[in-house]
Homo-oligomer: A and B are copies of this chain.
């Protein structure tokens, strides 16, 4: 099966949002997506975009996305963060996921970053196996911490 990978355009965002929703559903957080189509269109295509995105197409139809942005490690400097790597269910097993990860690694390598980082659910064993095969390391000791919108409000109200 042949596919092409290219940078996402503004007009791809409806399909990108659909894949974001599909991924949130898979991650058991179907109601977590508050981002709107307009947010994606504004945030990704402004003068200083908040994210970058690649799309993978089969027969001119978007079947996968790799969306990321830059972070800053006080150890390694500028890094690439892969926020979402998602392949449409119907297109699994076609090598699209690998090809999208290739694109992200090439992108980071060209920019000379010393690290590419992302996050994975500990029960998503196929993904963990895939990432390890690709040379990534699961940082077992580190935990992700979130202060959500309500907690921020509570925090502020107590100051």
> Number of contacting residues on A, CB 8 A?
68
**Minimum Cβ distance to chain B for residue A75 (Å):** 5
- Asked if B32 contacts A75 (CB within 8 A), the reply is yes
A39's partner among B77, B83, B115, B151 (CB-CB below 8 A) is B77
- Asked if A155 contacts B105 (CB within 8 A), the reply is yes
- Is A11 in the interface zone, CB < 8 Å from B? no
Contact pattern, A 71-95, Cβ under 8 Å of B = 1, otherwise 0 = 1111111100101100000000000
**Minimum Cβ distance to chain B for residue A54 (Å):** 14
- Is A135 in the interface zone, CB < 8 Å from B? yes
Give the number of copies in the complex: 2
Report A127-148 residues with CB < 8 Å from chain B CB: 128, 131, 134-148
- Asked if B75 contacts A34 (CB within 8 A), the reply is yes
Residues on B with C-beta less than 8 A from A105 are 147, 152, 155-156
- Asked if A156 contacts B117 (CB within 8 A), the reply is no
- Asked if B20 contacts A74 (CB within 8 A), the reply is yes
Which residues on A are within 8 Å of B, measured CB to CB? 20, 23-24, 29, 32-35, 39, 43, 48, 50-51, 67, 69-78, 81, 83-84, 102, 105-106, 108-109, 113-123, 128, 131, 134-149, 151-156, 159
